[in-house]
Structure formats: C-alpha cells, structure tokens
Chains A and B, each alone.
Chain A
Amino acid sequence: MVSTETFHSRVMAILADVPDPEIPALSVVDLGIVRDVRPDPAEVILTPTYSGCPATAAIEASVRQALDAAGLETVGIRTVLSPPWTTDWITKAGHEKLRAYGIAPPAPSGETPCPLCGSHDTEEVSRFGSTPCKSQWRCRSCLEPFDRFKCH
C-alpha cells in the first residue's frame, strides 16, 4: 500500500509529461487544469479552461493514455466546472514556457511585453485569437504578430 503522498506525487509526475494539445509547450499541470489527485477512490480531477474549449476531450484522452501506460488503469478521471478555471492557476514554470514558445503570458497588470523582442511597445489587434484562451497582439518595435494568453 503506497502512502497518499507517494500516490499524489507519482500521478502528478506522470501528468507533468502530458502536453496540452493546443499549446504543446505546456503540460496540463503547467496550465493549472489538474485540480486534484485523490487516492480513494483514486481519481484525477480536471477542469476545462473555457466552456467550449475543443481540446477538453483530447486532454481527457491523453491523460487517460498516460495513466494507462503507467499501469494506473483503475484511476478515474472526473471533470468539474466549479470553481471556474482562472489564468492565476498557470504555474510560474508555465509562464516561462509560454514566453519561450512565443506567447505572452497573462499579466494582471496588463503589461504585455513582446515575447520575441521584449519591447513594451505592443498593441492588441483582436481580443479573440486562434484559441478561446488567446488574443491577437502585435509588436510595434519588431513588427511581429504574437498571441497573448488572456487574463481570465
């Protein structure tokens, strides 16, 4: 019988290698959508980013696959809506990975430096971007367009 803590960290370590299907630079743990890992009954609790995020089903499938591959077929997966996901749950490491990937991380201050050249001379092009969680921006210094993770 493994201890609760061992079970928790073992599952979290597995999930830390499961990429988000739309932003593969980030794991589902970085994104803050793994809300809990419970030992009894053994289950992983996930929450979607947006109500209609089309990646939700794909995320559940990749988590299932990763658990099965680690021999944890009996661990269940449950999706909960409440409390609603917020960008505050993206980890610090997640912020760094986003920036390195070319996506400006969410900043409550509203500051949006260009993830490519670092300039603060940037502007929003559209609040709706390539996925529900991102908006479209452009840098006035290096003239490159980039995605910004919406504060949500």
Chain B
Amino acid sequence: MTDPLFDYTLRLGDDALILGQRLGEWCGHAPTLEVDLSLSNIALDLVGQATHFLEYAAELEDAGRDADRLAFHRDALAFRNCLLVEQPNGDFGRTMARQLLFSLHQKLLFEALAGSTDERLAGIAAKAVKEVRYHADLAAEWVIRLGDGTEESHNRMLEGFEWHWRFVQELFDMDELEAGLAREGIAVDRTALRPAFDAALSAILAEACLPEPDYPRPVTGGRKGHHGEHLGHLLAVMQHLPRSYPDARW
C-alpha cells in the first residue's frame, strides 16, 4: 500500500510534466514566433510545477529516488496523469482546445489547493496559480480568435474540442484515495470545481461562436496507469537520453 499523499502528489506532478513535454514538441514548429515563445513558456511553467511536485513526491516516498528518477525512469503504467494531457498535439486548434480545458481546470484546482492543510502542496499551488492564469487567458484568446475566425479556423476549433470532450470528466473524478485526502483538508474536492469550470467554459465558447459541449461517454483510467498508446511514444522521446546514458550530466 503506497502512501496516498505520494500518489496524489504524483498525479499533480505527472499532469504538469506530460503536458509540458507535449507543448515542448511545438518548439520551433508553432505558426508564428510569438506563439512559439508562448507555448514554450507555458511548457516551462508546467515543467517547473512538475519539478516541485515530483521533488516532494520523492521526499515522501523516501526510497532513494529523486524528481529526475521519477520523471525519467518510470514506465507508462506507473504514470498517474490524466488522459487529456497525453493527447497528441494535432493541429494548433486541437492544442488550444486541450490547453483551455486543462488550464481552466488547473486554475480552479490550484486556487483551492493553495488552501490545503499540506503546506508544501499549498505553497506549490499558490506559486503556480499566478502562472496558470496566463495559460488560461492565452488559450481563451486563441479559442475565441479561431472559433470566431474563418470557416476553416472555426471548423478546426470544433474538431479540436470534439477530440477532447471525452477526457474532461476525468479531470473532476474523485476516487477513494482523493476523497480520503480531501476529508483531511489535503486534497481538493474536484467535483466542487465543476460548476465554475462549466460556467467559464460556456462563456468562452459563446464568445468564440462555438456550440456548448456535447459530452460523449467519458474515457478514464489515467490515475490508475491505464493510458493510451500515445503516452508510450511521448515517454520514448522524453526518457530516451537519461535512460540511454543513466549518469549523464548537463
């Protein structure tokens, strides 16, 4: 039986790490230089969050692993990120749809987590939430610009959201582990964040001339290590160097 707090911290860290890696894939490929810098900056913030969470997880585990070990030497089955963050970038519209859904949820999550009884988690969240507000704003601006743009950009935004709707529910799922930690005031009750998320999302979609979400049956399992094949490919790229040269130093 692992420590629930370790597992929870790993979930928070893995969400940030995997999305940070995904956004990093845009570096040098984004539509304009400004967008390239924006996506790299968001990736950097997320990898920074991941570092703080995984450092804490490593201390909690106290088994000789550090944050790098957790990031680079675990296999896909041991990752606890939600499925949304491991989705391939697709086109820029799909990336922005994913970013809006994730950042809106993460902003609400961290605002609440900043009041956690666990001081370390509270400190990381209070620091990061200031950054996440920028991420949510940037994603919302692009969703509005593209949704309310040309027929082509509107349709691509639609397709971007349609790909991701099935992964939204997982962001707000509570299992026994998180419910137990929430009773102690450590974890956030994710279900309580849903109304604010729905309201914020609706307002942005309306401004973007996009329809309300039509949620299909949710796909979940990331918190248990049940991932899609995409995560393995992402990890192969991310982990290749430290696994091939285990003691490599910059």
B34, A125: Cβ atoms closer than 8 Å: yes
- Which listed residue, B34, B44, B51, B131, touches A126 by the CB 8 Å rule? B34
B85 at the interface (CB under 8 A from A): no
B37, A51: Cβ atoms closer than 8 Å: no
Distance, CA A127 to CA B142, complexed state (A): 13
Instruction: Report the count of interface residues on A (CB-CB < 8 A).
Output: 21
Min CB gap B24→A, angstroms = 11
B127, A52: Cβ atoms closer than 8 Å: no
B44, A129: Cβ atoms closer than 8 Å: no
A52, B138: Cβ atoms closer than 8 Å: no
Instruction: For B57, list chain A residues within 8 Å (CB).
Output: none
- Chain B 7-26 near chain A by CB (<8 Å), digits 1 or 0: 00000000000001000000
Distance, CA A14 to CA B42, complexed state (A): 34
- Chain B 154-190 near chain A by CB (<8 Å), digits 1 or 0: 0000000000000000000000000000000000000
Distance, CA A85 to CA B130, complexed state (A): 10
Instruction: For A128, list chain B residues within 8 Å (CB).
Output: 34, 37-38, 41-42, 134, 138
- In chain B, what residue has the closest Cβ to A125? B34
B52 at the interface (CB under 8 A from A): yes
- Which listed residue, B119, B131, B138, touches A51 by the CB 8 Å rule? B131
- Chain A 81-110 near chain B by CB (<8 Å), digits 1 or 0: 111110000000000000000000000000
- Chain B 113-127 near chain A by CB (<8 Å), digits 1 or 0: 000000100111011
Distance, CA A82 to CA B129, complexed state (A): 13
Determine chain A's interface SS by DSSP, over half rule. loop
Min CB gap B148→A, angstroms = 20
Distance, CA A54 to CA B128, complexed state (A): 15
A51, B34: Cβ atoms closer than 8 Å: no
A70 at the interface (CB under 8 A from B): no
Which B residues, 103 to 153, have Cβ-Cβ distances below 8 Å to chain A?
119, 122-124, 126-128, 130-131, 134, 137-138
A61 at the interface (CB under 8 A from B): no
B47 at the interface (CB under 8 A from A): yes
Spell out A's residues near B (CB within 8 Å): 48, 50-54, 80-85, 125-130, 132, 136, 152
Spell out B's residues near A (CB within 8 Å): 20, 34, 37-38, 41-42, 44-49, 51-52, 119, 122-124, 126-128, 130-131, 134, 137-138
- Top 4 nearest A-B pairs by Cβ distance? A52-B48, A51-B48, A82-B123, A128-B38
A–B complex contacts, Cβ < 8 Å, 30 sampled = A48-B48, A48-B127, A50-B44, A50-B45, A51-B49, A51-B124, A51-B127, A51-B128, A52-B47, A52-B49, A54-B44, A81-B124, A82-B119, A82-B122, A82-B127, A83-B126, A84-B127, A84-B130, A125-B34, A126-B37, A127-B138, A128-B38, A128-B41, A128-B134, A128-B138, A129-B37, A129-B41, A132-B45, A132-B131, A152-B130
Apart from the given pairs A50-B44, A128-B42, A152-B130, 9 other A-B contacts in the complex at a CB distance below 8 Å: A50-B48, A52-B20, A52-B49, A53-B44, A81-B52, A83-B126, A84-B126, A84-B130, A127-B38
